[in-house]
Amino acid sequence: MTGLYTSSIEMVEVSPRDGLQNEKREIATADKLALISRAISAGTRRIEVTSFVNPRAVPQMADAEAVCAALPSRDDVTYIGLVMNQRGADRALATRRIDQLGAVAVTTDTFAMANQGQSSDGSVDAARAIIEMARASGRTGQATIAASFGCPFEGEVAEDRVLAMALAIAEAGAVEIGLADTIGVANPAHVARLVARVREAIAPLPVRVHFHNTRGTGLANVWAALGAGAVTVDASIGGLGGCPFAPGAAGNVATEDVVNMLERAGIATGLNLAALIETNHWLAGVMDRRLPGMVAHTPAFPAAA
């Protein structure tokens, strides 16, 4: 394979947070914990378990503390809590169960205002402060740059803007920079170019990628990102997900679809495809609807002996 493909990559399971945050009907805390346990059983070793945001803005995440209190005790699993500001970071750190703070910086002022009530520069400052708080308390911090490939309100986003944000956040001591296609407008050529530029700029810090499949380009973008040197991929079991503040946002790439693609291409993910598919079906029962992931609805290949 031409490119920077490695023999194994890391996956981050984001279904308990990104996957569920946009669901209208309340998901029971016990079901969230069952989802987390199932993901860990399927091999997940890094998982975004919740977000510490204003429960009036994102009611589905109002049980963040309750979820954290009941997380399985696993030294080999990194639990990520998403936070937008110092108040959220304080809450996450107070649970004593969050290993890593995930901050979010947004590329444009309009989306930053809708998503977190601040300017784009303000979101970079906030991400830096969150990362410093994580470090000061012996945890790690990373940030995701939302709308790296396009903004729901302002359209195209300059690559230089993303690069400058990545550098500013890396300087604060982030352990990783994530590039997110929050609204699913990225194409593989754009992804390959921007991942390569950011990777070179922040090396040796790793680049994580986060794609939504809004327009069907999610898996192609994952493949392009890995070829350009990204080493970690966010995904959501069942392809659940969406941003409450981005009009038309659809699901994340489905974990089981990414795993199917990569494992068949010879790239190890550490995840068990059959267990993920079973979890898709279980989660569909919880949500009472068919989930958008694809491989969970097809016959096994090769057929089981």
Closer by beta carbon to Zn ion, 141 or else 251: 251
Closer by beta carbon to Zn ion, 93 or else 148: 148
In the Cβ-directed half-sphere of 108, how many Cα atoms lie within 13 Å? Answer: 18
Catalytic residue from among 243, 262, 276, 291:
243
- Residue 106: phi and psi, rounded to 5, are -115, 140
Closer by beta carbon to Zn ion, 57 or else 203: 57
Q: Which of 13, 15, 18, 39 binds Zn ion (CB under 5 A)?
A: 18
Q: Is the peptide bond before 302 cis (omega within 30 degrees of 0)?
A: yes
Closest by CA to 121, choosing from 132, 105, 98, is 105
Q: Rounded to the nearest whole angstrom, what is the least distance from the CB of residue 252 to Zn ion in the complex?
A: 6
In the Cβ-directed half-sphere of 87, how many Cα atoms lie within 13 Å? Answer: 4
Q: Rounded to the nearest whole angstrom, what is the least distance from the CB of residue 149 to Zn ion in the complex?
A: 12
Query: Segment near Zn ion (CB under 5 A), from 18-26, 128-136, 189-197, 225-233?
Result: 18-26
Q: Rounded to the nearest whole angstrom, what is the least distance from the CB of residue 293 to Zn ion in the complex?
A: 15
Q: Rounded to the nearest whole angstrom, what is the least distance from the CB of residue 279 to Zn ion in the complex?
A: 19
151 tagged catalytic: no
Q: Which residues contact 248 (CB under 8 A, 6 or more apart)?
A: 152, 183, 214
Does position 181 interact with Zn ion (CB under 5 A)? The reply is: no
> What are the helix (H) ranges across the chain?
29-41, 64-69, 86-95, 109-116, 120-136, 159-171, 188-202, 218-227, 255-264, 273-287
- Residue 161: phi and psi, rounded to 5, are -65, -45
Q: Which residues in 124-153 contact Zn ion (CB under 5 A)?
A: none
Closer by beta carbon to Zn ion, 93 or else 213: 213
Query: Segment near Zn ion (CB under 5 A), from 17-25, 50-58, 189-197, 198-206?
Result: 17-25
Closer by beta carbon to Zn ion, 68 or else 180: 180
Tokens of 33: 């914990």
Q: Rounded to the nearest whole angstrom, what is the least distance from the CB of residue 187 to Zn ion in the complex?
A: 17
Query: Segment near Zn ion (CB under 5 A), from 11-19, 68-76, 78-86, 200-208?
Result: 11-19
Other CB atoms within 10 A of residue 228 CB: 23
Query: Segment near Zn ion (CB under 5 A), from 13-21, 99-107, 109-117, 189-197?
Result: 13-21
Closer by beta carbon to Zn ion, 18 or else 63: 18
Q: Which residues contact 253 (CB under 8 A, 6 or more apart)?
A: 211, 212, 213, 218, 219, 221, 222, 233, 234, 235, 236, 239
Which residues contribute to the site for Zn ion (CB under 5 A)? 18
Indicate which residues carry an active-site annotation: 243
